[in-house]
Amino acid sequence: MTGPGSEAQDGEVEARGRVVLVTGGSRGIGLACARWFLAQGDRVAVTSRSGAAESDVDAGIGQFWSLTCDVTDPEQVDAAFSAIEEAWGPVEVLVANAGVTRDTLVLRMSEEAWSEVIDTNLTAVFRVAKRALTKMIRLHRGRVIMMSSVGAFVGSAGQANYAASKAGLVGMARSMAREVASRSITVNVVAPGLVETNMLAALGEERTTQFRAQVPLGRVARPEEVAEAVGFLASAGAGYITGVVLPVDGGLAMGL
């Protein structure tokens, strides 16, 4: 197992045993990502407001660490990073996945509903990425993967706040990617389409059916299919990929 103090050269990413942090890892896509990294032999911490993952122990592949951390609270974010660094060393792979929706049409959208979504989905990603990059820069390696959405590109009625937050991630990721590239750190974005999680369930059956009809592959994704894309961007094989947006959407937004 490698990690803090490993012998990796600048830009090299160890294939196994890395310190991985997945925000919003208690369920859904984040939990699938946590399981993916755990199965690789990485040391995986997940954060959420509840602090309790659906399952902390996965049969056969070990255990990950669940921390309580509301990403909208700078002190909680710093405390979570500090705890991980003390126990395992610096975070080498950050999956900034925590996200929320507060859907309603623009004319009914309160400033508070706007701010809550922007704070969680955009500002908090800036916060956790900045905190992770501080240490990655010293390590001369690291991977940051931000969870956007197909909604960033196609828009979605009732989701002006959500789509704005997810589109904002793209410009932020590309700016960060340019800033840290000289340290062999990559910053990329994954843009899922419809994924079978609580968040999709909240969309309601009627809207889900409407959206599904527009997906060339004709079905929603399993969270594990998004985790595979995240895992790839964090892998040694993706060392020359930075500033990209990788859609995992069954073809929903192809060409955009």
Q: Which residues are catalytic?
A: 162
Closest CA to 166 of 245, 72, 232: 245
Q: Strand pairing of 65-68 and 43-48?
A: parallel
What's the Rg (C-alpha) of the chain? 17
* Binding track over 58-97 against ligand NDP, x by CB under 6 A: -----------xxxx------------------------x
Q: Which two tokens stand for residue 176?
A: 């960060």
Smallest separation, CB 14 to ligand NDP (Å): 26
Q: Which residues, 96 to 125, sit near ligand NDP by CB under 6 A?
A: 97-100, 120
Place of tokens 């706040």: 161
* Region of 12-20, 23-31, 83-91, 175-183 interacting with ligand NDP (CB under 6 A): 23-31
Angle at which helices 124-139 and 160-180 cross, to 10°: 20
Question: From its phi and psi, is residue 148 left (phi > 0), alpha (psi between -120 and 50) or beta?
Answer: beta
45 part of the interface to ligand NDP, by CB under 6 A: no
Q: Which residues, 177 to 236, sit near ligand NDP by CB under 6 A?
A: 192, 194-195, 197-200
Smallest separation, CB 44 to ligand NDP (Å): 14
